[in-house]
Chains A and B, each alone.
Chain A
Amino acid sequence: MSESSLPVTVIGGYLGAGKTTLINRLLAAEHGKRVMVLVNDFGAINIDAQLLESADEDTIALTNGCVCCTMGNDLYMAISDAMKRTPRPDHLIIEASGIANPQKIANTAISDPDLTYNGIVTVVDAENIDDLLADPMICAQVGDQIACADLLVVSKSSDLPIDLRDTLERLSDSEVILADDMQSLLGLTFSDLSSPPKNVLGTHHPTYTQWQYQGDVCLDRNDLKELMLKRPRGIYRAKGFVRSPDGSGWRVQVVGSTISIMPEVSCEQTIMVCIGSTMRFDKSACEAWWAT
């Protein structure tokens, strides 16, 4: 399943939630990807000196091929530049400002044919989220950041207190993981859905699961759309090619609540791959869903 367009993940979350910490870890992790990150504030990126290849006024290059750039005052210029960069990055991560609605940035990835939407990850600070949601000045914007997320990452906590889970469930039905669970984050974000889940950090049990179908299923657009709308809840990302009755086909992309179905000139075989965290993703539910 080759893919020419550039996957984009947007990292959202209020001021001080831990976005920069998360980005530092994504940059430094052993994911084998040439990741490019666009950040607001360069000063906060403290890269381990051993990983540092070079740094100038607005770019840090790492020995693992990753690059971190400031986006200055013009996010869209920075995205444009990233798309023209050679060698082209394997994955683009954009840090939304602490006050921004990440959906607006994500919409760019949804709309541009050379970009692929890969989800909004919103970081939630376990220590102060209740105060923020009680502040009439800011609660609506903080709530929107959570509501638009495909994946919620809870920082500054070693577990997920029941009160916090309830709060987040009230605002979003997206998956919640802890910031310390890097394996889930890396797997859900970077896995290219073309090979079985890798053991990213070298532990024995992957914390995310993949389900795959290959066969002759043939659907028109409306039926396909309806089927995708009924997908099991635990699917975080899905990707596939589906044959159409007229001999052409459809390219399907799902991230969180976003579904994209675009025509393909030809499609010889239907392929569908779904991924989700082991906690929420049930392969048998997938089988049952697809069988309908």
Chain B
Amino acid sequence: MSKITVFKAKKIVTMDPSRSEATHVAVQNGKIIAVGGADCASDLGECTLNDSLADAVLMPGFVEGHAHLMAGAMWKYAYTGFHDRVDPHGILHKGRTDIETVISELTKHERALSPDTPLVGWGFDPIFLPGERLNKGHLDAISTERPIAILYSNFHVMCVNSPALALAGFDEFTEVEGVVMGDNGHPTGELQEMAAMFPILHRLGIDFRSLAQSEQSLRDYGLVSRNAGVTTITDLYSTMTEDDLDEMIRITSEPNFPVRIVPAIGAAGADPEQTAAKAKAWSAKSTDRLRLGSVKLMTDGSIQGWTARVKAPGYVGGQPNGIWNTAPAEIFAMCEVFQREGLQMHIHVNGDEASEVALDALEAAKEKHPENNRRHILQHCQMMDYDQLKRCAEHGASVNMFSNHLWYFGDQHVALTIGEERAERMNAARTALDLGINLAIHSDAPVTPLAPLVTAWCAVNRETMSGRILGEDLQISVDEALYAITLGAAHSLHLEDEVGSIEVGKAADFAILDQNPYEVAPTELNKIAVLGTVLGGGVHRI
């Protein structure tokens, strides 16, 4: 029989309703065998005390129900964003709060690059920087020889310097949509949307797929998860191939790999029968740290990009309704096949017209194949209000809400997208809980930073960047928010019997924190420091 390790902590917040607090947890073979005081496992065998976490608070490892593998890989490029961010190695990068700082930091980065490497930056967001827009002049000040490309945080826009423009042949004669021209008739350096960005990306060897699916991106994903206290994380639109899968199994099986990954296979644009066959075949290959078998359906776009499908009265600026990435007819066809095959579906729904179509499609599929009872999960659910959530409750689906939007984009939603009234009821976690729906909340990293305690803070406080409270009536309690980032998310992934709480029989997956979330003010939840994680009994300190 393998040995028993007893971890001692300042406090253990278990999220187990039958024993909410403890000081010790005993672990054997990666599983929890006892929870309680110092002698909780003394009659189970020989115990070794591990008191390296004695000054910390332990919670169940957080479960991030909506993120993307790309979250770690961007750090191979220079960070240029407005907000503070921590890289996979735990180093804090202060936000660049004006253009001068963006440029001076990039200049430092450039000096360290080898001569034939392009300088690539990421995370830039002009919405936060008043004054002159970033242009090739700023970037030419860094170098007029080395190509420079700065990707914006939304990945839909970039700014490049003169050598990069020359690589693509963009000049005063160019008439290409998205190549922005200045008053002097020459390109400013700003390139909007993929078609204009492609010639540069292609020539500088930047490809989004290798950012999402490479050994380095996988290892970095593990590190950003550890830094956020996350021990189970999704990859919610996996594009992996059979070869990628073998590689992923190999890397995640290494003893020190720090996180469990739940990829959902992207279903858009493919024959659902083939996607279903792949999901089922791969499901059988699941390992302890890699859980396959679910699928991700796309529907509409994003609200802040005005591409989400919203019901009347539409966008407040009079923008046309958004676009379907998957046609309603295809959504129905896919739901039917996946329901028939008993596969769990994650369905992306931002706008309320998209969530309505998804609900219609799920109900139609269930009527045809009532024999399969797998819980599905609606993702983002940003505009679902009482009537749609009621249907969701009747259907037994989970919701995973994009609570981070309240802080990061809440003010923009009031002023620019759907207006005050509908913005106030966005991400209605309160309504979902009142209807008895299983709730998870998420970051959609790298769209917003991976940090479940910050996501919990967003759902609890509903504060925007300008400091207003958006929809006070829809705030949830700290307890409810902590449930959503642990057991709620675990339940949505059908893993509630394995992770999400610290109780006997579950995996020994913990978040190591410097404070007890129940003992800080609800407005201070986001200030709690994550010190690392424990995965299956293995300690991963930052």
Contact = CB atoms under 8 A, between A and B. Distances in A.
Interface stretch (B80-88, B317-325, B473-481): B317-325
B327 A99 contact: yes
Given A73-B239, A260-B175, A138 B194 contact: no
Contact of A138 (B174, B175, B199, B328): B328
A111 B176 contact: yes
B137 interface: no
B329 interface: yes
A11 B352 CA distance: 31
Interface in B188-215: 193-196, 198-199, 201-202, 207-209
A41 B179 contact: no
A76 interface: yes
Given A110-B176, A111-B179, A104 B194 contact: yes
A166 interface: no
A107 B196 contact: yes
A137 interface: yes
Nearest to A78: B209
A141 B202 CA distance: 28
Contacts of B175: 259-261
A67 B327 CA distance: 29
Interface string A97-131: 11101001111101111000000000000000000
Interface in B312-341: 320-321, 323-330
B327 A40 contact: no
A2 B201 CA distance: 27
Contacts of B53: none
Interface in A66-92: 72-74, 76-77, 79-80, 83
Contacts of B353: 137
B195 A99 contact: no
A79 B198 contact: yes
A107 B327 contact: no
Contacts of A227: none
Interface string B218-241: 000000000000000000010101
A111 B325 contact: no
Contact of B173 (A41, A106, A261): A261
Contacts of A83: 202
A80 B194 CA distance: 13
B198 A111 contact: yes
Measured as residues with beta carbon below 8 angstroms from the partner, the interface class of chain A is 35 or more
A112 B271 contact: no
B254 interface: no
B162 to A, nearest CB: 16
Interface string B269-313: 111001000000000000000000000000000000000000000
A15 interface: yes
A263 interface: yes
A229 B324 CA distance: 34
Nearest to B207: A77
Contact of A113 (B169, B201, B241, B320): B169
B330 A15 contact: yes
Contacts of B326: 99
B327 A15 contact: yes
A138 B209 CA distance: 29
A74 B176 contact: no
B178 interface: yes
Given A99-B330, A104-B194, A104-B195, A80 B274 contact: no
Contacts of B449: none
A40 B199 contact: no
B168 interface: yes
Interface string B158-178: 000000000011100111111
A202 interface: no
Given A15-B329, A43-B274, A107-B178, A72 B239 contact: yes
Contact of A73 (B176, B177, B266): B266
B269 A97 contact: yes
A44 B320 CA distance: 34
Closest 10 CB pairs of A and B: A107-B195, A73-B239, A113-B169, A111-B176, A108-B195, A112-B199, A74-B209, A99-B327, A40-B269, A108-B198
24 contacts: A15-B327, A15-B329, A15-B330, A40-B270, A57-B242, A73-B209, A73-B269, A76-B207, A79-B202, A83-B202, A99-B323, A99-B330, A107-B178, A107-B195, A108-B194, A108-B195, A110-B177, A111-B178, A111-B199, A112-B198, A113-B168, A137-B324, A138-B329, A141-B324
